[in-house]
Amino acid sequence: MSAFIAARAGALATAFFTLLSGAEAHAAAYALRENPVAIESAAPSRDEPFGLSTSALTDGPLRDKWLAVERAIAAEADVIAACAADRSHCTSQPALRFLDIVNAATTRDGLARLGEINRAINLAIRPISDRAQYGLEDHWSSPLATLASGAGDCEDYAIAKLVALRAAGVPEKDLRLVIIRETATGDDHAVVAARWGEHWRVLDNRTFLMVEDTGFAKYRPLFAMDAEGAKRFEQPMLANAAPFLQPRPAEIAKSDPVMDAGSTAVGSNTTALVADEFWMTLAM
């Protein structure tokens, strides 16, 4: 009898551990299915900043807005080229200012070139909201228009930096205008990501420092714009979640963004939620 009991106990123990192992394997598989970032984060992409892949926005107002800005940039390129060829007859002071920024940057190499443009554009523009400047909720300006007014919001800083970096010889494939969201507050912000070597640096109008994209853990990238068009960052952790709404970049505070590096963009969770419907309409 005792032998039978011992044999039965051994069989039950074997079955229990088999079931436990199977449950653990099932749980692990379920976790990976529900959280695919666990798979993808093992080999982050360096083709895009923040180690995330992107998908193209093939239509929608956001894409149209970026195309309109690029058309304005192309038109301004003719003015800039004419002024570069003959500065003495150049009648565009913004073009001359732009050339001064680019020329100063080209005297530097590597990260110093990126830093020079980040610093010069930050100093050349004072922060102001689109509503205060244009009476509009969201307006993206071309570089010469921004330099002419001497003011703009975070997108205007970023657009001017992107074009200046291109003019200074940074390859287009290594540049992105990126819209990011601060996860703690819901505030949105526009910056430039520039790749040097194997790393992406973030050029922000609120600081002279250029932080690597890996140091932006408290931000979630939403969209990227470059020479190929407008793109959406894939969000692996939200792959199985219901579609969520994207707000427009928040307006930055009316303070000195260079000297006050710790300042945050104007906005709150409440205002972000109010703006959500607008931004999703813009993106889609």
3-state secondary structure of 196: strand
pLDDT value of residue 208: 96
104, part of any domain = yes
> Which residues constitute the domain of residue 86?
49-283
Q: Could you tell me the CATH number of the domain that includes residue 249? A: 3.10.620.30
Rounded-to-integer distance, Cα 251 and Cα 235, Å:
24
Number of domains in the chain: 1
159, part of any domain = yes
57, part of any domain = yes
Output 181-185 pairs: Cβ under 8 A, ≥24 positions apart.
181/219, 181/220, 181/221, 181/222, 181/247, 181/272, 182/218, 182/219, 182/264, 182/265, 183/218, 183/219, 183/220, 184/218, 185/264, 185/267, 185/268, 185/269, 185/272
Q: How far apart are the first and last CA of the chain?
A: 73
3-state secondary structure of 150: coil
Rounded-to-integer distance, Cα 244 and Cα 265, Å:
21
pLDDT value of residue 45: 53
pLDDT value of residue 271: 42
22, part of any domain = no
4, part of any domain = no
Rounded-to-integer distance, Cα 86 and Cα 225, Å:
32
pLDDT value of residue 237: 56
252, part of any domain = yes
pLDDT value of residue 215: 82
Residue with tokens 């952790």: 237
151, part of any domain = yes
pLDDT in 10s for each residue of the chain, 284 residues: 444 344 444 444 444 334 334 434 333 333 333 343 333 333 455 689 999 999 999 998 889 999 999 999 999 999 999 999 999 999 999 999 999 999 999 999 999 999 999 999 999 999 999 999 999 999 999 999 999 999 999 999 999 999 999 999 999 999 999 999 988 889 899 999 999 988 999 999 999 999 999 887 788 999 999 999 999 999 765 444 434 444 455 443 333 433 333 333 333 343 444 444 444 445 54
274, part of any domain = yes
